[in-house]
Amino acid sequence: MRSMRPIATAALLACALVLPAFAAGAGVHVGGELTVAEATPIAAILAAPADHEGKVVRVEGEVTGVCKMRGCWMEVGDDAGHHIRIAVEDGVLVFPADAAGKPASVQGKVVVNEVSKERYVEWRKHLAEDGGEAFDEAKLGAGPYRIVEIAGTGATIGG
């Protein structure tokens, strides 16, 4: 029978090298590699969604919300109060539940969906409920109603 000592020693060594990096705030990477060199401001995407639709972008900011159920979305905000949702396919990429409040760099494709007022109200109400916030339909305005998101492919959170 083979000794398990070399495997156990290697595992302990790996933990000893990796854990200090996390403790020091090295961050967590999920999904694919971030290949877009320059970040696109969130405000620029939201101001002209049609100009960015279908393009792969990288955005940076603070994580302001995360799906508590499956980690299938997170929201990233900039210093000026602009926020964009990063959505992923359930189980393909999972955002850490404790990401809120941490800096993030996220890459993915900009998706713009024109929706009816009813669908938009339903979506915004769902977001408010998920975030434990009050929902006021009167604050939604007269439209047009569009949902601008990034279909996320990778992210580095924290660090």
Instruction: Give the CATH class of 25-157.
Output: mainly beta
CA–CA distance from 127 to each of 48, 55, 75, 120, 132 (Å)? 23, 25, 11, 11, 9
Task: Quote the pLDDT of residue 26.
Answer: 66
Does the N-terminal peptide bond of residue 49 adopt cis geometry, omega within 30 degrees of 0?
Answer: no
Task: Quote the pLDDT of residue 124.
Answer: 85
Q: What is the DSSP string of 52-81?
A: HTT-EEEEEEEEEEE-TTT--EEEEE-TTS
Task: Quote the pLDDT of residue 39.
Answer: 97
Enter the pTM of the model.
0.75
Q: What is the mean pLDDT of each successive set of 10 residues along the chain, which is 159 residues long?
A: 44 38 66 96 97 98 88 93 92 89 97 91 82 83 88 94
Tokens describing residue 99: 């990401």
